[in-house]
């Protein structure tokens, strides 16, 4: 008998790739999403698959599933600054009420649950690179606090269920990830730069561009999630690529790859935007025998090729998603 896994945020960037991976591994998938930021097109190819079923549902509401569940991957959450600044309350709710509902479901089903946390729990870090024992430097009441503190609370709640209710939990602290199926206009650096290059626009860089990030290709991240879920390690663990690059270098690399000679347009740096972000993945290497293998140039090339194949109207599509149709504040 195949194992059954519930994946929330299934229509999102990471969630849809996880659905593909676990389908390939022979799992029965229950995908769940309310399409607040997810896109049905990301999982359209799975709707006819006999090992995939889908439930349109907001995880902040009570979740009822009658069949047995072996694993839960909780990946439902807005994940870009544009999203969680537009819907701050829902961002807080999905990592608090949503996580509470899913931990309760895991307890009832005796299922193992993996929670998608984030490098944002480190805030604008005073230590570099960031290891799992660093407590972070977060502005709880700043505009990014709705996401940072939601994820920090999510981790605390998850550990409480692990310690008090003995639920089998796993926590992945995910650093910047990129690849096909990202939303072109969600404000994150790589799709933003690619979109501007393909449209022939000036490339927008916030601040002086010297702030750094570490970008992990989605296939590598999915492999890390798969290994973590099946490991015996229950404490938070960093998953990301420690190959660090400045934002200005990244913008120039994408422009060169896209044969663009567009100028760089500098814009004010958003409040509390981290100046450095790089994971220490020593623990993942030791516990999971995992490390990224896709080189940045290769990953960027694959991502650029994906966006180049989109219908032209998609490149010029402005993201005016009506969140009010999907949620209650």
Indicate which residues carry an active-site annotation.
147
**What's the Cα-to-Cα distance from 318 to each of 41, 192, 258, 314, 321, rounded to whole Å?**
17, 12, 21, 9, 9
Close Cβ partners of 41 (under 8 Å, ≥ 6 residues apart) = none
Element (H, E) at 294: none
Burial 213-237 (b: 16+ CB within 10 A, else e): bbbbbbbbbbbbbbbbbebeebebb
Q: How many CB atoms lie within 10 A of CB 274?
A: 17
In which residue are the tokens 């096909």 written?
180
Going by their DSSP bridges, the two strands 203-206 and 237-239 should be labelled as unpaired
Element (H, E) at 222: helix 218-229
Q: Reduce the DSSP state of residue 21 to 3 states and report it.
A: helix
């Amino acid at each position: 008998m195949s194992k059954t896994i519930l994946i929330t945020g299934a229509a999102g960037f990471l969630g849809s790739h996880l659905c593909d991976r676990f389908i390939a591994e022979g799992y029965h998938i229950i995908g769940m999403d309310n399409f607040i930021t997810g896109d049905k097109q990301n999982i359209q190819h799975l709707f006819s698959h006999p090992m995939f079923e889908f439930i349109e549902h907001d995880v902040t509401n009570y979740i009822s599933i009658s069949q047995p569940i072996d694993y839960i991957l909780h990946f439902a959450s807005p994940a870009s600054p544009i999203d969680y600044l537009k819907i701050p309350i829902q961002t807080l709710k999905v990592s608090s009420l949503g996580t509470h509902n899913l931990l309760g479901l895991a307890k009832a089903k005796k299922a193992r649950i993996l929670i998608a946390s984030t490098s944002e729990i480190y805030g604008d870090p005073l230590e570099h690179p960031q290891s799992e024992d660093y407590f972070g430097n977060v502005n709880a009441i700043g505009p990014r606090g709705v996401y940072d503190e939601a994820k920090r609370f999510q981790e605390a709640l998850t550990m409480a269920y692990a310690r008090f209710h003995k639920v089998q939990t796993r926590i992945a602290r995910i650093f910047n990830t990129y690849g096909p199926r990202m939303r072109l206009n969600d404000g994150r650096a790589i799709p933003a730069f690619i979109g501007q290059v393909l449209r022939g626009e000036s490339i927008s860089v916030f601040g002086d561009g010297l702030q750094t990030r570490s970008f992990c290709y989605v296939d590598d991240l999915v492999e890390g999630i798969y290994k973590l879920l099946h490991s015996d390690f229950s404490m938070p663990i960093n998953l990301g690529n420690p190959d660090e690059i400045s934002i200005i270098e990244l913008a120039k690399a994408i422009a060169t790859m896209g044969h663009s000679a567009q100028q760089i347009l500098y814009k004010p740096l958003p409040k509390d935007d981290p100046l450095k972000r790089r994971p220490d993945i020593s623990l993942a290497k030791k516990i999971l025998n995992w490390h990224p293998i896709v080189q940045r140039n290769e990953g960027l090339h694959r991502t650029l090729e994906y966006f180049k194949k989109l219908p032209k109207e998609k490149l010029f599509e402005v993201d005016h998603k009506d969140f009010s149709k999907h949620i209650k504040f």
